[in-house]
Amino acid sequence: MEHEAAALALRIQAELRSISRRSLYYQPVPPPPEEVALKHRIDALYTAHPFYGSRKVAVVLSEEFGPVNRKRV
């Protein structure tokens, strides 16, 4: 009976917020440490060399992190 009351409360909360119940259970997944390091390096490169384009940044990152394409930059 208690479980039904909790489910009812979540349903009501979702209705009041005008969102789906599924979004109440969503737990975001943190990005992998490699991706965070890559983004920090992109930021440092752009700060030091704002005239670098995506192609040049990809070349510099490929030397440090292995193959990195322009889409990832």
**49 and 19 part of one domain:** no
**37 and 24 part of one domain:** no
Tens-level pLDDT at each residue, the chain (73 residues): 456 656 678 888 888 888 888 888 888 999 999 999 999 999 999 999 999 999 999 999 999 888 998 998 8
pLDDT for res 32: 95
**38 and 12 part of one domain:** no
Task: State the pTM of this model.
Answer: 0.66
SS (H, E, C) the chain: CHHHHHHHHHHHHHHHHCCCHHHHCCCCCCCCHHHHHHHHHHHHHHHHCCCCCHHHHHHHHHHHHCCCCCCCC
Q: What's the domain range around 72?
A: 31-73
**20 and 47 part of one domain:** no
Q: How many distinct structural domains can be found in the chain?
A: 2
**19 and 36 part of one domain:** no
